């Protein structure tokens, strides 16, 4: 059963160390957990959610840095990871505590900066989460992190490169790094996604 809520959190998701910039602006219910936010980030960016992830955020009242995600032996730091589905975003984000870090894929290390831009009233009749803006496609999965992706773009831009045809076949002929439309973003049910992740863990 969907939880009732009166406010939504507007957040900007910025992919670090990738040029030209890749970013999204999304609005999510105030009742969201960090797991729910993770799913919304994955869906809005265009990631496939096939790797581990981790949030790094500070507790507003104490300033203590905490890590939130899916507890696993393969965590980035070896420190305690709080379960994302047990941590509410409203306990960490507020007008005085606006930012968090989000890492996806501990091999490629896709780092994102999450910024709470504002908290606004829920619009009657509007479905949330929603992506309201953004720029550029996110890099293909397993493309080697920011450095690997920049090299991939150079190869794609040079038809004479000996790796051009093979790289184009790998990313798909319809891949356009400049293309993004918020209207094409489809959000999955986070509870369903979590159940699937548990079944295939």
3-class DSSP assignment, residue 91 = helix
Phi/psi of residue 118, nearest 5 degrees: -170, 165
Does 125 reside within a domain? yes
* Antiparallel, parallel or unpaired: β 23-29 and 7-15: antiparallel
CA dist., res. 164 & res. 197, Å (int): 35
Residue 11: give its domain's CATH number.
3.10.290.30
* Residue 2 belongs to a domain: no
Which tokens hold the place of 106? 């501990």
Question: Is there a domain that residue 13 lies in?
Answer: yes
Q: Is residue 95 in a domain?
A: yes
Q: What share of the chain is helix, strand, coil (3-state, %, to 5)?
A: 25, 30, 45
The CA–CA distances, whole Å, from 171 to 44, 138, 141, 158, 163 equal 19, 12, 9, 15, 12
Asked whether the CA dihedral 40, 46, 51, 57 is positive or negative, the reply is negative
How much of the chain exceeds pLDDT 90, in percent? 82
- What is the maximal distance between C-alpha atoms in the chain? 57
**1 is a domain residue:** no
Question: Is pLDDT above 50 for 12?
Answer: yes
**132 contacts 19 by C-beta, under 8 angstroms:** no
Mean pLDDT computed over every residue of the chain: 92
82 inside domain? yes
Higher per-residue pLDDT: 155 or 198:
155
Tens-place pLDDT, residues 104-163: 999 999 999 999 999 999 999 999 999 999 999 999 999 999 999 999 999 999 999 999
State how far the Cα of 126 lies from the Cα of 133, in Å rounded to an integer.
16
Distance CA 148, CA 152 (A): 6
pLDDT in tens, 63-99: 789 999 988 755 555 678 999 999 999 999 999 999 9
The domain in which residue 163 lies consists of 7-199
Domain count, the chain: 1
- Consecutive H or E run containing 169: helix 164-171
């Amino acid at each position: 059963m969907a939880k009732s809520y009166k406010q939504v959190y507007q957040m900007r998701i910025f992919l670090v160390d990738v040029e030209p910039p890749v970013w999204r602006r999304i609005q999510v219910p105030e009742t969201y957990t960090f797991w729910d936010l993770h799913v919304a980030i994955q869906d809005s960016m265009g990631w496939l959610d096939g790797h581990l992830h981790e949030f790094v955020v500070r507790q507003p009242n104490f300033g203590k840095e905490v890590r939130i995600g899916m507890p696993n032996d393969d965590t980035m730091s070896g420190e305690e990871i709080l379960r994302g589905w047990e941590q509410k975003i409203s306990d960490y984000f507020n007008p005085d505590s606006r930012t968090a870090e989000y890492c996806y894929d501990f091999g490629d290390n896709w780092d994102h900066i999450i910024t709470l831009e504002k908290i606004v009233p829920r619009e009657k009749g509007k479905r949330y989460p929603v992506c309201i803006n953004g720029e550029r496609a996110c890099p293909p999965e397993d493309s080697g992190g920011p450095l690997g992706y920049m090299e991939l773009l150079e190869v794609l831009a040079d038809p004479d490169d000996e790796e051009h045809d093979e790289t184009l076949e790998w990313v798909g002929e319809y891949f356009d790094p400049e293309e993004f439309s918020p209207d094409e973003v489809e959000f999955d049910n986070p509870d369903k996604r979590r159940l699937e992740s548990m079944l295939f863990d």
